[in-house]
Structure 1
Amino acid sequence: MLVAQLSSQVLPKEASLSEGLTLLWQHPQIRAELKELFSLLSDRLNHLQSMTPGGDSIPLAPHARYTRLEILAACLPEDRATAPVWQTGVRWLPESKIDLLAFTLDKTKGQFSPTTRYRDYAISRDLIHWESQSITRSQSETGVRYRNHSKQGSRVWLFARESVSDRAFWFLGPAQYVSHEGEQPMAITWRLKQTLPGDLFQTFAAAVG
């Protein structure tokens, strides 16, 4: 994830992790600055964080924050140094069988059109209301995958940020389909496997209040 964040703009997309690490090691001044930064950031942790439950090897911790690039880098094969561009709110990773759903809570700011002002919010500390893309029907391949992800062996991971000015998203963790209403978009209720901390729930509630 670190290598992808630092080198995605300078390495070819086929570059290996070894090539990325070699590039980083050629710049001792950057390594020294990172060492200082890591020490500083460790003092700013405000949530107890553990890796994704279920023994998953993907290094994402619920209730930590990640950029889109970091999220994709974490989910890619381990020998990759760069991550592809991700600009939309949804991303299906067929190799990992994971649906990544990233949404913005406060849509009063930014370039949200009437067709992209989806109603996404926390219902409670363990339930999330989320709306799919406006083209998604319940019987489409994507809609069926959302509804039957447990039976089909795929996973759904939720990421949320307060506003478009935030580069990073809070990782809410894995989620389980509960129900949905309508289509185009589908209004889906997801149940989080890890309950939201009280402060995040209050923040999310205020962002859409």
Structure 2
Amino acid sequence: MAALIHVDDQERADAYTMLVSADAPAYAELGSREQVFARMLFFTLWDDAGGFASYDEGFKHLRQYPYVCSEIQQIVAMGAAASKRASKALGMHYASVPLFSHATYRREEILAALEYGSLELGKNVKHREGVAWCPKTKTDAFFVTLSKDEANHSATTMYRDYALSPDLFHWESQNATSPTSPTGKRYLDSSGHGSHVLLFTRDTAEDETGLTLPYTCLGRVDYVQHKGEKPIAITWKLHRPMPADVFADAAAVAQ
């Protein structure tokens, strides 16, 4: 249940509610967006695929526990109703990807939506690094924890990531990345490579109870300038200014 309390957009809440219903259609009978939501929910519950050979097998197992399904439906309904942010689609390139700027997601949902992993690919979405290249959707997903602590980050991963303004963000690449490497070239010229960059942030990795926290989708970003290498310090411009509370947290860490 704790893995679903962050759901805060109505379309996702409705899709998850449908998917855990006793009369939900088979995966092959779902529409394209519904299939993406099915992958998002499946990998939220089983990031290593849970040993299931198909999405239907996993959801069939889940539906054997109607009280669990009912609680999932109640939790996502409450989360969507309580949301105070206006989520927006990410643009035409992501027309079939139901991720929204300013909505909140677990890493597993994001990677499933961007087809980093899927049962069809024979690859799960277990991933712990701060960057993920998703070739199926030609997307670099950046996962930023703003307030880093030594318990969860080594000396080589204490990157300086912070907001310069509501629509400008300073970000550092991984230490092995140089401007002349294939990854560095893609970051610095995403339009020339036909790729896109999505930025996701959270204040801390865990809350006071030890629960892993989800990320806020800040949406698409465009390259502005860079300096240095290994890591590369890049300034990104957001297509949509970040929410005020996220900006407050992201600006505070620059001090």
Give the alignment's TM-score, normalised by structure 2: 0.74
Letter in 2 for 1:3: F
Aligned-pair identity (%): 38
Question: Could you tell me which residue of structure 1 aligns to residue 50 of structure 2?
Answer: 11
Question: Matched residues in 2 for 1:162 and 1:150: separation?
Answer: 29
SS in 1 for 2:154: coil
Letter in 2 for 1:148: D
| Residue 90 in structure 1 maps to residue 128 in structure 2 | no
Question: Could you tell me which residue of structure 2 aligns to residue 37 of structure 1?
Answer: 75
Question: Matched residues in 2 for 1:77 and 1:172: separation?
Answer: 19
| Residue 192 in structure 1 maps to residue 228 in structure 2 | no
Please report how far the alpha carbon of residue 78 of structure 1 lies from its aligned counterpart in structure 2 after TM superposition: 9.9
| Residue 175 in structure 1 maps to residue 212 in structure 2 | no
Question: Could you tell me which residue of structure 2 aligns to residue 134 of structure 1?
Answer: 175
Task: Decide whether the 8 Å contact of 1:18 with 1:79 is kept in 2.
Answer: no
SS in 1 for 2:156: coil
Question: Could you tell me which residue of structure 2 aligns to residue 154 of structure 1?
Answer: 195
Q: Deviations over 1:7-44 (max 9, x none)?
A: 3456337x332323322222212211112112221232
Q: 1:10 to 1:72 in 2, by over 3 A?
A: closer
Task: Decide whether the 8 Å contact of 2:140 with 2:196 is kept in 1.
Answer: yes
Please report how far the alpha carbon of residue 208 of structure 1 lies from its aligned counterpart in structure 2 after TM superposition: 4.1
| Residue 49 in structure 1 maps to residue 90 in structure 2 | no
Please report how far the alpha carbon of residue 148 of structure 1 lies from its aligned counterpart in structure 2 after TM superposition: 1.1
Between structures 1 and 2, the one with greater helix share: 2
Letter in 2 for 1:37: I
Of 61, 65, 68, which residue of structure 2 is paired with 1:23?
A: 61
Q: 1:98 to 1:39 in 2, by over 3 A?
A: same
Q: Deviations over 1:125-170 (max 9, x none)?
A: 1111000001111000110010111111111111111112152111
SS in 1 for 2:73: helix
Task: Decide whether the 8 Å contact of 1:17 with 1:79 is kept in 2.
Answer: no
Question: Matched residues in 1 for 2:227 and 2:197: separation?
Answer: 18
Please report how far the alpha carbon of residue 205 of structure 1 lies from its aligned counterpart in structure 2 after TM superposition: 1.6
Aligned length: 208
Tell me the C-alpha RMSD between the 2 structures. Answer: 2.2
SS in 1 for 2:200: strand
Question: Could you tell me which residue of structure 2 aligns to residue 114 of structure 1?
Answer: 155
- In structure 2, the gaps of 5 or more residues are 1-39, 207-211
Question: Could you tell me which residue of structure 2 aligns to residue 2 of structure 1?
Answer: 41
